[in-house]
Amino acid sequence: MVNKSLRRAVFLDRDGVLVKPDFREGRSFAARTLTEFSIYPYAKDCVHRLQTLGFLVVVVTNQPDVTAGFLSVETVEEMHRLLLDETGVDDIEVCYDSREKPTRRRKPQPGMLEDSAAKLNIDPLVSYMVGDREIDIEAGNQIGCTTIFVDLGYTAYDAPHGQAISVLSLVDAVAWICSRENLTPT
C-alpha cells in the first residue's frame, strides 16, 4: 500500500545520465574541471518532464576524485550549482568517500538515497533510480526503487543485473517512466 503522505522521486546518477562523462578504455571518467563539465542538452527537459509528472528529481553521485586530490570540493560545488541552475533538479546528494574505504553513503550502498528519502519525505518503493553503472542499479534495488540502466556501452565494468529495463539515455528512461505510469507529460 502506498503511503499518500510520502512523495515520489526519480534519483539520477550525475555522470553518464545528466552530465557527459569522458570515455577512455571502456570506462567513464567524471569531469575534473569546470571547462570539462558538460550537461547533456536534453537534461533540462527531462528533469522538467519528471517534475511535471509529480516526481522530485534528486541527483545521487559518488565523487571520489575529491578525496584522491584530483579536484576540490569547491569545484564540485560549482559544478552542482551549474547543474541546479541549468536543469532545476530538486536536490543533489554527493559522496566524496574513496573507492578504497566504502561507506554507507557511497554507491553501491544506498545511504545517499536513504538520507534523501528521509530529508525530502520520499517513498523509495514508488520511486525510480536511473544510472549508468552496476553500482547505481544495486543502490536503487537495495532501497526498493524501480531501477533503470542507461547503457552507454562501457566494456570495463560489470553489466548490471536486476534492473527493470535498460535504455540508451535519460530521454528513453523518462519515456519509459511515463509509459509505465500511464502518464503524459505536459
CA atoms 41, 86, 62, 180: torsion sign: negative
**Domain residue spans in the chain?**
9-181
**What pLDDT, on a 0 to 100 scale, did the predictor assign at position 3?**
58
**What pLDDT, on a 0 to 100 scale, did the predictor assign at position 99?**
84
**What pLDDT, on a 0 to 100 scale, did the predictor assign at position 4?**
62
Q: 10: which residues sit within 8 A by CB, 6+ positions away?
A: 50, 55, 56, 57, 58, 127, 128, 129, 130, 177
Q: 67: burial class by Cβ within 10 Å (0-12, 13-18, 19+)? A: middle
Q: How far is CA 128 from CA 27, 51, 82, 99, 171, in A?
A: 24, 13, 24, 25, 14
Spacing of C-alpha 101 from chain mean position: 21
Average pLDDT by stretches of 10, the chain with 186 residues: 79 98 90 96 98 97 95 98 98 94 94 98 98 97 98 90 97 96 68
For the chain, the residue count is: 186
**What pLDDT, on a 0 to 100 scale, did the predictor assign at position 182?**
82
Helices (H) and strands (E) in the chain, counts: 5, 8
**What pLDDT, on a 0 to 100 scale, did the predictor assign at position 57?**
98
**What pLDDT, on a 0 to 100 scale, did the predictor assign at position 87?**
98
**What pLDDT, on a 0 to 100 scale, did the predictor assign at position 13?**
98
Give the separation between CA 146 and CA 76, rounded to whole angstroms: 28
CATH topology classification for 9-181: Rossmann fold (3.40.50)
Does the model's pTM come out above 0.85? yes
**What pLDDT, on a 0 to 100 scale, did the predictor assign at position 185?**
53
Q: What values do phi and psi take at 87, rounded to 5?
A: -105, -25
Give the separation between CA 118 and CA 49, rounded to whole angstroms: 24
**What pLDDT, on a 0 to 100 scale, did the predictor assign at position 113?**
98
Spacing of C-alpha 100 from chain mean position: 22
